[in-house]
Amino acid sequence: MHKQALSNYVEGEQHRLVEGWLGDGAISLILAADRRQKAAGVRGPVLEIGVHHGRLFLLFAMLARSDEKALALDLFEDQHLNIDWSGRGDRAALWKNIDTYLGDRERVIAIRANSLDLGPNSLDEHLSGQKVRLLSVDGGHTREHVLNDLALASAWLHADGIVFVDDFYNADWPGVNEGVVRYLTDPAHGLAPLCYGDNKLLMCKREGWQSANAWLTTEFLPTCAAYKKVAFCDYETYHVTPPAPSTV
């Protein structure tokens, strides 16, 4: 883990210098999930689908331990396949930001791919049998992309992993909500919703929902500035206003 880089990025607000989309509340949600996993000894790579210039991905990479890979998957040079113009992956900008704010490239792997072409085994060479513990779904924002990327996330996720779905309840990107709702109404869905706030929906493995919900309600919600219990697709879920981000 890159402790000093992380503190500079979060408390030092360097994340604001990286082009992209990542709110303070979203940072808090990611830090809280990482803290829970580390307390429970959960290990595994971190992965983002749709990195743009790496604003969120850098946070994931800083949280990764020295033996955990950080995988950045994007269309990169294939922007003609970016059908809804949800950002624009730029490999050079990503590496520049990694050099500037993370400080080394050791465990970072940039993967050029259209997520729509991928299947559960497509990342086998990078995952080496491991499951992903932190996974951001922020690629194409159409209903089809979201359905596709949630299915991939479910296949790649650790039993105690957390998925962060971007632009949930963002009025500019209705395809995200449509995709999530369609996904959850399929009886075979493998991911379940936990809470949402600051543009992110957190999901976990369906079989890990009870335990993740227990952590959420006993440990995370009491730290929030506000929260409201809601019913969403037959799940007890929470709309949260996370606390200010802190790495200590």
Q: Which residues bind ligand SAM (CB under 6 A)?
A: 20-22, 48-52, 55-56, 74-75, 82, 86-89, 114-116, 138-140, 145
Question: Is the CB of 78 or the CB of 234 nearer to ligand SAM?
Answer: 78
Tokens standing for 222?
Answer: 């009491």
Pair 139, 74: CB distance under 8 Å: yes
Q: Which is nearer to ligand SAM, 77 or 99 (CB)?
A: 77
**Vertex 145: Cα angle to 192 and 9 (nearest 5):** 75
- For ligand SAM, the closer of residues 21 and 169 by Cβ is 21
Sheet holding 235-241, edge to edge: 108-112, 70-74, 46-49, 132-137, 157-166, 200-205, 191-197, 235-241, 226-232
Question: What residues contact 14, with CB distance under 8 A and at least 6 apart?
Answer: 8, 101
Q: Which of 57, 118, 114, 60 has the alpha carbon at shortest distance from 84?
A: 114
- Provide the terminal-to-terminal Cα distance of the chain, rounded to the nearest Å: 13
| Nearer residue to ligand SAM within complex by CB, 23 or 190 | 23
Which of residues 95 and 235 has its CB atom nearest to ligand SAM in the complex? 95
Nearer to ligand SAM, 22 or 61 (CB): 22
Nearest distance in Å: CB 132, ligand SAM: 15
- Least Å distance, CB 81 to ligand SAM, is 6
Shortest gap between Cβ of 135 and ligand SAM (angstroms)?
12
- Among residues 85 and 218, whose Cβ is nearest to ligand SAM? 85
Q: Cβ 59 to ligand SAM, closest distance in Å?
A: 8
Q: How far is the CB of 74 from ligand SAM (least distance, A)?
A: 5
* Token code pair at residue 113: 């791919």
CA distance 153 to 45: 13
**Backbone φ and ψ of 179, nearest 5°:** -65, -45
CB of 190 to ligand SAM, least distance (A): 20
Q: How far is the CB of 79 from ligand SAM (least distance, A)?
A: 6
